Amino acid sequence: MTDWIKVMGSSDHPYNQRKHRGRDQRHVWFPGRSSTVDEGDRLFLYSGHPLQRFFGVVLVICAPRVTIGSEDGLRLCCRVFTQLQLVDLENFGVPAKDVFPLPGGTRLVSMRQNSHVEIQPDDAARLYTHLHTAAAREQAEMTRAPVQRNLFTR
């Protein structure tokens, strides 16, 4: 199994909260006709410009296959299983700088230039921990009962 960062969106078509709500969680697309991603690999989903946040983890359950998009031309589509997905990108997504603290580091540059980038197992473990913690905070916030206040108390 190989771990990858998969960039969602682009500078021309940024990945935002509205696109996130309408995202097909069963498939992930790659530009072009070939990819190094294979069945059994794990993808850490990353929203590029302008959010720059990690927001989910998926497992590739079927090797990518070539499809033809009406506006994109050839692209690859692979079937995935969602392991972890944050709902609120802006408040609970994990900023890239928290995981890879070097702002000009090669990993961050590579993420901006490629649709997916391989990461080392120790980086993947650290990233998974960050995402799991963010998901727990998001779940706690969503299930917390609203505070009731007595308006007639002084």
Domain CATH number, residue 127: 3.10.590.10
85: containing domain: 3-138
The pLDDT score that the predictor gives to residue 109 is 63
In a domain, 69, yes or no: yes
Give the total number of structural domains in the chain.
1
**Span 95-109, average pLDDT:** 66
Domain assignment of residue 143, yes or no = no
- Whether 148 is in a domain gets the answer no
What string of DSSP letters covers 65-130? EEEEETTTEEEEEEEEEEEEE-S-HHHHSEEHHHHS--TT-HHHHHHHHSSEEEE-HHHHHHHHHH
pLDDT tens per residue, range 56-74: 999 999 988 888 765 666 7
pLDDT at 46 over 80: yes
What pTM was computed for the model?
0.83
**Domain contains 93:** yes
- Mean pLDDT over each residue of the chain, to the nearest integer: 82
